Structure 1
Amino acid sequence: MATKNFIPLCILLIYQTVAESSNLQPSNPSDWSPSISSIPYPSSLHGIQAAYWPSFNEISPSSIDTKYFTHILYAFLLPEIGTYKLDITPIDQTKISEFVDALRTRNPPVKTLLSIGGGGSDPAVFSNMASTKHTREIFINSTVEVARKFGFDGVDLDWEFPANDQDMSNLALLFKEWSIALHNEAKINRRSRLLLTAAVYYASKFTVYGGLRSYPARAINKYMDWVSPMCFDYHGSWENFTGVNAALYDPKSNISTNYGIRSWIQAGVPPEKLVMGLPLYGRTWKLKDPNVNGIGAPAVGVGPGDGSSGTMDYYQILDFNNGTRATVVFDRLSVSYYSYVGDSWIGYDDVRSIQKKIRFARTWGLRGYFFWALGKDKDWTLSIQASNTWRHQWP
């Protein structure tokens, strides 16, 4: 997920290889979704309906409509290089206080979590922090201290990404020691335990930003309240062809939410420990030939929106489509939208695709979903659709 400069989540996601757990890629579209009766963990009606609030965006915490969420995550704080204690600048202190004060008395109530890391953070800092028991302890104690000081209900780790097997092994130790520390702190102080969650790669094992490695499924099962696969940034301006930002299905590759969620479950993480990520933004390209404008069309750079990353927030996409009379297409195969006009092309999610993705999460018995990020929706349109679909009883 992005940082203050909206750095993309993944730059090389397209190079996720089909060879990684290719047995998870269905050969028949009928295998893409299970029947309700085949799911070992039925989904909760209420579950987790979460969203990240980037401290650098323009939406104020007091304007968040909590009817559509159960958990809001503050994004982000970073550990100091060398000390591994959380670095709280004067601006951070003001923003955190504003965030927590605005949400602690809202009706309906929501829980707040402090998220640490983000897409623009230095993964080497997390790697070094997690490498010894001493540095892990310093980091853990700092997160507890800060979370309690400001009144958060939990802590969330967004380490993008552990680079090798050693990092993953140390991540398992971090989860274990963090969980024990949270339980001990709650018991000693006779308080409710802080939640412990983490944003993770969309698939349980991967090769981007390093060699082939897998997340520690056993440690996640035992010590985490849940983990949140980031099911977006599947394609982007680093490629010379158009692609879907958050494809639910892709019969030609492993780059899809269906593949990612299935990989987590097959790795041994139960569905009730998974909270599926959804984007409130799209990715844009400049078409090489305006007359060749489908998914996979040749492209020669970024399209409209953020000139450096080729991104547009959902509300901007709707305004752009309406203002330019762009052609809007719902792609049934990937369960995604794209629009084009002239040489501009945008891949994104809209009401229909969000509804189908939430139904996918319910069918697989997932714990819930989260959005990246607040401030990017259009009058809460997608937030409302996701919440209503999640809560609706359907066969």
Structure 2
Amino acid sequence: MKKLFLPLLLVAAFAHADKVVVDEKFDGDLNTLWVGQNGDGTVPMNATIVDDPLRPGNKVLRFDKPVFGGDIFTKEKFPEGKYKLTFDYLGTCKSNCGGVIGITAEFPGRDYWVAGTASSGFPERIKDTGKWQSYDFDFKGRFDFHLALEQWVQSNGAGGDVYFDNIKLIQKGDGDGKLKEAAAPVIATVAAGDAPAGKGPQMVYYFTSWGNSRGYWVKNIETSGTADKATVIQYAFGNVVDNKCSVGVEKEGVGSAGLDYWNPIPTEHTLDGKEDKGDNGLFGHWNQIKQLKKKHPNLKFVISLGGWTWSKNFSDAALPANREAFVKSCIDAYIKGNVPDKNGKVVPGLAAGVFDGVDIDWEYPASQGAPGNIVRPEDKQNFTALLNEFRKQLDAAKPGYLLTIASGAPSNILAGMELDKIHKPLNWISVMTYDFNGPWSNKSGHLATLYGSSAEVTTAGALKEFVEGGVPPQKLLVGVPFYGYGWVLSKTDNNGMGQPVKGKAKGTYDEGAAGYTDIKAMPGKVFRDEKSRAVWKLDGDVMWVYDDVQAIKDKVEFVKKQNLGGIMAWDLVGDTEGELVDTVYQGLTKK
């Protein structure tokens, strides 16, 4: 990988030695150093200092109840930087008792769990052996933080079976007392042999197969003007079942072959307004896509695999024994077009020409997404190998097919990927820089902030981590939401932002969710945070967070200033009039 080394800057600051900032042996009052959630003593700590069950005469910390979001936090906050964390751990259940240790911005806030007992979702693993084990981990705090511990609620522990002792947090210094040269960030570029980045700014939008239930069909891509203003449309989603791409299945929760290509589109929703007679047996959305591409030959479509709901089986499919055959099944179906008809007979080439590549939306490698997903620590390496296999087989079919991924934004998600390796077979990475708050939140918060403190998940912060991890900027797309989330608030102080939530607002998608076009038409006063570039609407006690035209313009300018690859949006249903699509197009293509 080629790298650009920016000029070295001399810093005339003497180095400092390592400094112990926490040294807790749990031989005194727990309340001296620690506090529960909220940080003000109103929420009790579900932990007790008890006699060591294995070492007579010693006192240790025991968690009495599994919780979510952190249980005990250091009262003191420590500055971002490099640290060493050492501790002793004892888990007395059979496996995954739920012991977790990490850092968090508030009580709780943005968190980064350094180590835990689960087999996935943590950079480091601690084990439940029924014996005391000592651990020593180095980590980088990317924001000012409190040390946090808990017994995780999604574990096999029941309380009374997780113990910690001898916790020491050491702030790292350079240790030699001499002047140092500090190098500016290393920025990767696309090397010879790597898959190329997109040609020009990319304007990428998800089309959902179920969007017709909300009135959005392939025809709307044309009538809204999106077809002339997009470079790539990503079709969501394809499922992964039994270690292969599952195509030609009509079953709720498994596949939607009827909408995809089996059944005719109602005449009023076809591209030409005529009866859908199919294309040699190809009907549905896929036939309409083929017709749309004939009218707009520069517009590409890719199949997006997985998503939140259908990522369960990626981990199995990516295993070395399954990987090659899995990828072949996807290439055969979506690229070569060999798909089953209604009778289950595979028709060679029936769907050929619909898709121009593959988008992998695995949520998430080595980290838990939806409950029930299969997750392994080795997903991190297997994901890289899976992408290389996709690139190999796509190029064998015909050079030029697109291969992209969608990735989460938080640090713990990024820790499950080899950032400096995965970009090589990819044309770009779409970073899902949204859903920072939503219907699951207990207080109102921004949906997709552009800027903020290092203690928050932000668009700028997430993209910075990708670049620092070795991804060329031109292979990064900023994700923006064409939807929003709404709450009914208990209080409306601070114009509703950061206030307790008592329920979900009435939505047009689901409870608490609506498209941009719908939110724009709702009553209420619009507020904007000029620092974070976030927007929200408040009507009485009903609040909606979303991205409007100005928020999109701000992110387009960010993309241009940072020399990033473009914009990705979820999803077209929310922008029925094409207003946000036009905003992206005008901003990225016009000077």
TM-score by length of 2: 0.56
Paired position in structure 2 for 1:74: 235
Equivalent residue in structure 2 for 1:155, among 337, 340, 358:
358
Matched residue type, 1:341 = D
User: Which has the larger share of helix?
Assistant: 1
* 1:47 and 2:232 aligned: no
Q: What does 1:259-274 align with in structure 2 at a 5 Å threshold?
A: 259-274=461-476
Identity of aligned residues (%): 27
Q: Distance in 1 between matches of 2:189 and 2:516?
A: 33
Equivalent residue in structure 2 for 1:142, among 309, 326, 329:
329
Q: What does 1:1-395 align with in structure 2 at a 5 Å threshold?
A: 16-17=110-111, 22-23=141-142, 46-58=200-212, 59-64=216-221, 65=225, 66-80=227-241, 82-89=242-249, 90-91=257-258, 92-94=260-262, 95-107=284-296, 109-123=298-312, 125-131=313-319, 133-148=320-335, 149=337, 150=351, 151=353, 152-164=355-367, 165-186=377-398, 192-203=399-410, 205-206=411-412, 213-251=415-453, 253-290=455-492, 293-305=495-507, 310-321=512-523, 326-393=524-591
| Alignment CA distance shift 1:307-1:279 (3 Å) | closer
SS of equivalent residue, structure 1 residue 263: helix
Q: Distance in 1 between matches of 2:454 and 2:544?
A: 21
Matched pairs, number = 354
* CA contact 2:379–2:416 (8 Å) conserved in 1: no
Root mean square deviation of aligned Cα: 2.8
| Alignment CA distance shift 1:107-1:83 (3 Å) | closer
Most deviating of 45-54 and 109-118: 45-54
| Alignment CA distance shift 1:129-1:108 (3 Å) | closer
For structure 2, the 5+ residue unaligned runs are 1-67, 70-107, 114-138, 145-185, 191-196, 250-256, 263-283, 338-350, 368-376
Query: How far has the Cα of 1:15 moved from its partner?
Result: 5.9
| Alignment CA distance shift 1:147-1:261 (3 Å) | same
Q: Distance in 2 between matches of 1:276 and 1:83?
A: 30
Q: Distance in 1 between matches of 2:526 and 2:421?
A: 44
CA deviation profile, 1:28-73 (whole Å, cap 9, x unmatched): xxxxxxxxxx988799893211101001012121221312101111
Q: Distance in 1 between matches of 2:243 and 2:189?
A: 41
Matched residue type, 2:568 = F
| Alignment CA distance shift 1:388-1:158 (3 Å) | same
Matched residue type, 2:206 = Y
SS of equivalent residue, structure 2 residue 424: helix
| Alignment CA distance shift 1:391-1:44 (3 Å) | farther
SS of equivalent residue, structure 1 residue 98: helix
SS of equivalent residue, structure 1 residue 334: coil
SS of equivalent residue, structure 1 residue 375: helix
Most deviating of 141-150 and 365-374: 141-150
Q: Distance in 2 between matches of 1:112 and 1:24?
A: 39
Q: Distance in 2 between matches of 1:40 and 1:139?
A: 31
| Alignment CA distance shift 1:129-1:15 (3 Å) | farther
* CA contact 2:493–2:499 (8 Å) conserved in 1: no
Matched residue type, 1:141 = K
Matched residue type, 2:327 = I
Query: How far has the Cα of 1:16 moved from its partner?
Result: 4.3
* CA contact 1:55–1:75 (8 Å) conserved in 2: yes
| Alignment CA distance shift 1:272-1:379 (3 Å) | same
CA deviation profile, 1:203-239 (whole Å, cap 9, x unmatched): 4x416xxxx8331123323211111110110101211
SS of equivalent residue, structure 2 residue 550: helix
CA deviation profile, 1:100-148 (whole Å, cap 9, x unmatched): 223221236301101111111243x1111112x2311122111111222
Matched residue type, 1:17 = D
| Alignment CA distance shift 1:307-1:67 (3 Å) | closer
| Greater Rg by CA | 2
Q: Distance in 1 between matches of 2:461 and 2:530?
A: 17
Matched residue type, 2:308 = G
Matched residue type, 2:394 = L
Matched residue type, 2:499 = A
| Alignment CA distance shift 1:107-1:93 (3 Å) | closer
* CA contact 1:39–1:365 (8 Å) conserved in 2: no
User: Which has the larger share of strand?
Assistant: 2
TM-score by length of 1: 0.82
Matched residue type, 1:73 = Q
Matched residue type, 1:364 = Q
Query: How far has the Cα of 1:333 moved from its partner?
Result: 1.6
Of the two structures, which has the highest relative contact order with CA contacts closer than 8 Å and spacing of 6 or more? 1
For structure 1, the 5+ residue unaligned runs are 1-10, 26-37, 187-191
Q: Distance in 2 between matches of 1:110 and 1:251?
A: 38
